[in-house]
Structure 1
Amino acid sequence: AEAGTLPDAAIQGGTLSITPVKDETPDAATAMSRLAYGQLPQIKIPDLLTEVNAWTGFAECFTHYRSGKPATDQKALFAAVLADGVNLSVSRMAAATHNLSARQIAWAHDWNLREETYSDALACLIDMQRELPLAKLWGDGVTSSSDGQFFRAGGRGEASADINAKYGRTPGLKFYTHISDQFSPFHSTVITATESEAPFVLDGLLRHQSGVAIEEHHVDTGGATDHVFALCYLLGFRFAPRLRNFKDRKLYLLPGMKPPAIMTPFIGGTIKAGHIVDNWPEILRLATSIKAGTTTASAILKSLSAYPRQNGLAIALRELGRLERTLFSLEWMRSLELRKRTSASLARGEARNALARGVFFNQLGEMRDRSYEHQIHKASGLNFLVAAIILWNTKYLEASITDLRKNGVAIPNEITKHIAPLGWAHVGLTGDYLWNMNPPLSSDRLRPLRKHEIQDAA
């Protein structure tokens, strides 16, 4: 800072200024993305689900609540999953589906769809998608982000929803979703509109069933607290949030440290190292309990914040979090690459939210269920449907790009990595739902591409 060599940042007159990160997507990527998507075959959402099941066998994960056996009526099972994903009631799904009654769909929904079966089925999709060559161009699968998406509440659900001033006067709730740098949405849960997102950051990193192994995680300001900084450090995750009003956030020193004069305006105090030392066994016991699944991070963090006066463990975690946040803040000032990585990761989550909003279109996109069980079914179904579209897009984009290259279109990997699998214009989400349960397709035999688009482009 004294030498004036901080990348796109400077400290002058006791004020820190950081240049916002700009979008570095090449103009050519937009054109190539349009070309690659132009070759993708048009497909109805029932056929997409059936085809993805032929690749992954995810239907085997939706086991019966009592017997533990897979569903015998896959058509009713898929209709129930689709009803959750597009926000349709069982009766309306039956009306839009030929040869299926509301009772058949309701039976599959009640006995086979649970939070844990959704999680297992989602893992099948995530594990296949992250192994595809195209997905490995997008990232190494070790970085992720999480963000909450607000959905309005209506009908019976309005009575149990909360109002958050950020979203206006309409009551609603949030679906909090984790997505990897390979666009894999590997976890989703439901939280109230007024609830802090921070307690749920670690739940998604620890409780998913896929093979994703996250090392670095990004959130916006709403997901960052000193307690989360501390627990992420203890559990082996690098926590890298994008903090609002970063220049106004204070740094903390260890006892006996003296800051350089240029950094003095940013110092907020000294870390109470004694609290950390005195409570270190309890801190380790807490981290071990969370890691082992004895308790969840969200339950612990909400309990610690609920005390009228913070106890010793809460204070020790706060002090440890201040230390970690200070180290992160210094790295944020001096690393332009960290800032770019964080912004890119959060942009993936925002783009995924646009796809989720397009899929969750029925009933005006409102949550009209009052119980948490029904709400988590909707969130899980939506995330599962989004993951299925992302997997299908990844596989067909890979085929489309390969075909374009064979036909003389130059698409270098530097451009390819900017083509995201989040388009849905080619996916038919509306109309009657017709189920063909025996598609003559496998993972190595795909639908024909729309070749005429190549000739038009040429």
Structure 2
Amino acid sequence: MDASEGDRAAEAVAERAGRLVLKALEQAGGLEALAATHEAVSAHHGNNYLPLLEAHYRSHRSALFILVESIELESTNAERSVLDAVEYLQAQRNARAAFVPDRITVEREGPDGAAETVTLPVEVDAFASAMWRKILKDPARPGMLVRRHLEVCVFSYLAAELRPGDIAVAGSDSYANLQDHLMTWQECAPLVEEFCAEAGLPTEAAELTGHYKKLLAETAAAVDVGYSGNTDLVLEGGRPVLRRRKGAERSKEALKLEEAVHDRLPQRDLLDILTRTAYQLGWHHHFGPASGSDPKISEALGRYVLTVFTYGTLLGPAQVAAHMRGKVSAAELARGANQHATSEKVAKASTTVINAFNQLDITSVWGDGKTVAADGSQVETWENNLLAESHIRYGGYGGLAYRHISNTYVALFSHFIPCGVWEAVYIIEGLLKNASEIQPDTIHADTQGQSLPVFGLAALLGFDLLPRIRNWHDLIFYRPSPEATYQHIDSLFGDEAIDWQLIETHWSDLLRTAISIRQNRISSVTLLRRLGNHSRKNRLYRAFRELGRAVRTITLLRYLSDPDLREQITQVTNRNEAFHGFADWLMFGGKLIGHNDPDYQEKIITFNELLANCVIYSTACDITDAANAIAAEGRPVDPDDLATISPYITHVIRRFGNWILNLTPPAAAPTTHLDLESRVLFAP
């Protein structure tokens, strides 16, 4: 074979190989698809999922660009790298090249209205992580960036900076600039002394840091000294283990008293309970037209009783009307809920019941009202609405009835919130919106009810946050100072100490924020949504986090050393769980809120709270009558035994059967006085 024949053979082989390569590319969907597949495989091998995001972003690209062009974004600090990158993307929206330069020159309108030429950079090194930079840059193309990954990266960081408030949306509520909502220091200064006195805090920054530093040091020293006598706490290889205590069992006398009380409780229809409490307490007077005029409906008390029954049980107007045998129509019931009741009016009606309940002698047997537990219970909704979420913790779609339950068993405040939200965001809001005479200063919750900023804000507002924290031994205990060491419990603490200087420097910011919340200039929910997201730039977040570190460390040390405190937390949080079960039992019309309006959903939860509180009040009065009757027979009634009887009693409440609205006023006033002195009634 001569040279020419060899060349032709080589060309034939190359041509055939080329056809095979092109065929393989065609079968794989083209060069771009093959490159994407290669990236996906590389992502799994390198544990970097970021290249996979672009496939999910593609279908939302147009909507995201329309969104950022429709709103006005502003930086809340001097760092603008992400905002500059967003502006760059808007200028490069129609680019189709695989690679784009890391800076471009554009003309735009200047502050004076004249056109000016500016350079828009994309400084990915200023905000993007090492994983992002690895896929954004190609060493063979310096100064160029991968366009499709760049868009995903910038929009991801925009979302990340909107959450903590490093970037704000002008004119919005949830994403507004916090500084625009906070009171100025000139407005706060006259209120500082009174506010700090109510919260039990010093007014000066140095005194505040000194107060918490001393408290942390003294608490840690006391726990260290008492370690040998703390049989519950064991440090195994430096890891703390808290032995479980057996719960206190109820005495035989308490069980006999409960049986005697239950035997004397009258059977009551649910509708009758609502009617009696409306007559006795007048909670129905909070309902009425939006105009504030008297309701132009006959038998307004009966109509409002039926409204609470209809929506508090989730039966719905059609079902209740069908069982009322023509006494009321579904339209009339719906009108009562839609036009004469709002969440605020229902909450005021519930407050009336709470205040009356607080006047009963028996409530002091159950608790002092100074402690409250906050927790959420899932309620199902339709999927396609603003609050519905699917969460692995609860299963199914829905939201949370987030309730604040007093240690006296009554519900003080209820929210309806998304089930995917961190519940701690709402823990303080319920206390601030509680308008009843019962004003607790100690909050118990589960793990979801705490975070470092929440500990800090609760302390500033004068609340003692004492949650039941799961996996507490994995949390960091912070030292009062770098040189602080302890003989027995030193292994509890990490290497870090509290940065007291940071707290002192930003004391005015912390105080200004807390006073603004007390004065209703900003919602604690709005603030904690921001502070619940880690921010590298937000000085307010860092200050609240540092104060929260000190407060949480003190709380954890108290938790480890005080078995009575642990028992109290368990008892009150168990009452919260029991209330959820009681409220669900009253919601016997179903567990699905069939409506997409968040205001309607919130109203359902407040109706359910009002219904539950009316039943609790009625049952508490009946327990008082029963206890007085037992004592009158000469049987001793120990208040400690009576305290173990819960008012969440269901076997004497009739939910079903004939629903008859009896509007006859009750013959006697409710029994509020508890007389437990033993005496024997003698026949004449």
Give the alignment's TM-score, normalised by structure 2. Answer: 0.62
- Where in structure 2 are the equivalents of 1:329-368 lying within 5 Å? 329-363=556-590, 365-368=591-594
Deviation at 1:195, TM superposition (A): 1.0
Check 1:444–1:264 CA distance in 2 against 1; reply closer, same or farther (3 A cut). Answer: closer
Alignment match of 1:322 (pick from 545, 549, 553): 549
Deviation at 1:126, TM superposition (A): 0.6
Equivalent AA in structure 2 for residue 151 of structure 1: V
In structure 1, distance between residues paired with 2:671 and 2:489: 61
In structure 2, distance between residues paired with 1:110 and 1:195: 28
Query: 1:451 is matched with which residue?
Result: none
Query: 1:413 is matched with which residue?
Result: 639
Query: 2:333 is matched with which residue?
Result: 105
Query: 1:61 is matched with which residue?
Result: 286
- With 266-275 and 64-73 compared, the bigger mean Cα shift is at 64-73
In structure 2, distance between residues paired with 1:68 and 1:6: 63
Equivalent AA in structure 2 for residue 122 of structure 1: S
Contact kept? 1:62, 1:71, Cα under 8 Å: no
Q: Secondary structure at the match of 2:663?
A: coil
Deviation at 1:294, TM superposition (A): 1.7
In structure 1, distance between residues paired with 2:319 and 2:644: 38
Contact kept? 2:387, 2:418, Cα under 8 Å: no
Alignment match of 1:386 (pick from 590, 603, 612): 612
In structure 1, distance between residues paired with 2:654 and 2:504: 59
Q: Secondary structure at the match of 2:240?
A: strand
In structure 1, distance between residues paired with 2:560 and 2:568: 14
In structure 2, distance between residues paired with 1:427 and 1:126: 20
Deviation at 1:274, TM superposition (A): 2.6
Amino-acid identity (%):
24
Task: Answer yes or no: is 1:9 the counterpart of 2:236.
Answer: no
Query: 1:141 is matched with which residue?
Result: 369
Query: 1:370 is matched with which residue?
Result: 596
Task: Answer yes or no: is 1:85 the counterpart of 2:312.
Answer: yes
- With 14-23 and 294-303 compared, the bigger mean Cα shift is at 14-23
Query: 1:455 is matched with which residue?
Result: none
Instruction: List per-residue Cα deviations over 1:116-157 (Å, max 9, x = no partner).
Output: 111111111111111211111111111111110112335x66
Task: Answer yes or no: is 1:181 the counterpart of 2:407.
Answer: yes
Deviation at 1:407, TM superposition (A): 2.2
Deviation at 1:158, TM superposition (A): 7.7
Contact kept? 1:157, 1:368, Cα under 8 Å: no
Q: Secondary structure at the match of 1:277?
A: helix
- With 405-414 and 120-129 compared, the bigger mean Cα shift is at 405-414
Deviation at 1:216, TM superposition (A): 1.0
Query: 1:453 is matched with which residue?
Result: none
Task: Answer yes or no: is 1:36 the counterpart of 2:265.
Answer: no
Deviation at 1:313, TM superposition (A): 0.4
Task: Answer yes or no: is 1:190 the counterpart of 2:422.
Answer: no
- Where in structure 2 are the equivalents of 1:431-446 lying within 5 Å? 431-444=657-670
Q: Secondary structure at the match of 1:172?
A: strand
Instruction: List per-residue Cα deviations over 1:308-338 (Å, max 9, x = no partner).
Output: 5450000100000000001111111211111
Query: 2:493 is matched with which residue?
Result: 267
Query: 1:303 is matched with which residue?
Result: 530
In structure 1, distance between residues paired with 2:561 and 2:534: 37
The unaligned stretches of length 5 or more in structure 2 are 1-223, 673-684
In structure 2, distance between residues paired with 1:54 and 1:81: 14
Q: Secondary structure at the match of 1:186?
A: strand
Q: Secondary structure at the match of 2:389?
A: coil
Alignment match of 1:151 (pick from 379, 382, 392): 379
Query: 2:75 is matched with which residue?
Result: none
Give the alignment's TM-score, normalised by structure 1. Answer: 0.92
In structure 2, distance between residues paired with 1:445 and 1:61: 24
Q: Secondary structure at the match of 2:365?
A: helix
Query: 1:213 is matched with which residue?
Result: 439
Check 1:445–1:222 CA distance in 2 against 1; reply closer, same or farther (3 A cut). Answer: closer
Contact kept? 1:145, 1:218, Cα under 8 Å: yes
Contact kept? 2:535, 2:541, Cα under 8 Å: no
Alignment match of 1:49 (pick from 266, 271, 274): 274
Alignment match of 1:289 (pick from 501, 516, 524): 516
In structure 1, distance between residues paired with 2:522 and 2:574: 31
In structure 1, distance between residues paired with 2:387 and 2:438: 34
Query: 2:37 is matched with which residue?
Result: none
Query: 1:258 is matched with which residue?
Result: 484
Alignment match of 1:118 (pick from 337, 341, 346): 346
The higher radius of gyration belongs to: 2
In structure 2, distance between residues paired with 1:325 and 1:159: 33
Task: Answer yes or no: is 1:248 the counterpart of 2:447.
Answer: no
In structure 2, distance between residues paired with 1:321 and 1:212: 26
In structure 2, distance between residues paired with 1:217 and 1:354: 20
Q: Secondary structure at the match of 1:166?
A: coil
Query: 1:423 is matched with which residue?
Result: 649
Instruction: List per-residue Cα deviations over 1:329-365 (Å, max 9, x = no partner).
Output: 11112111111111111111111111111111213x2
In structure 1, distance between residues paired with 2:607 and 2:537: 38
- With 349-358 and 67-76 compared, the bigger mean Cα shift is at 67-76
Which is bigger in relative contact order (C-alpha 8 A, separation at least 6)? 1
Alpha-carbon RMSD across the aligned residues, in angstroms, is 2.0
Contact kept? 1:142, 1:215, Cα under 8 Å: yes
Query: 1:454 is matched with which residue?
Result: none
Deviation at 1:22, TM superposition (A): 3.3
Query: 1:456 is matched with which residue?
Result: none
Check 1:361–1:202 CA distance in 2 against 1; reply closer, same or farther (3 A cut). Answer: same
In structure 2, distance between residues paired with 1:325 and 1:187: 25
Q: Secondary structure at the match of 1:188?
A: strand
Check 1:414–1:124 CA distance in 2 against 1; reply closer, same or farther (3 A cut). Answer: same
Deviation at 1:68, TM superposition (A): 4.8
Instruction: List per-residue Cα deviations over 1:231-261 (Å, max 9, x = no partner).
Output: 1110111111111012222111234442215
Instruction: List per-residue Cα deviations over 1:7-51 (Å, max 9, x = no partner).
Output: 522334312221224332414333422321221111111110011
Equivalent AA in structure 2 for residue 417 of structure 1: A
Equivalent AA in structure 2 for residue 361 of structure 1: F
Equivalent AA in structure 2 for residue 41 of structure 1: P
In structure 1, distance between residues paired with 2:660 and 2:483: 69
Alignment match of 1:131 (pick from 340, 345, 359): 359
Alignment match of 2:627 (pick from 401, 411, 429): 401
In structure 2, distance between residues paired with 1:22 and 1:252: 30
Q: Secondary structure at the match of 2:306?
A: helix
Instruction: List per-residue Cα deviations over 1:90-131 (Å, max 9, x = no partner).
Output: 222211224111122122111221111111111111111112
- With 31-40 and 67-76 compared, the bigger mean Cα shift is at 67-76
Equivalent AA in structure 1 for residue 230 of structure 2: L
- With 318-327 and 87-96 compared, the bigger mean Cα shift is at 87-96
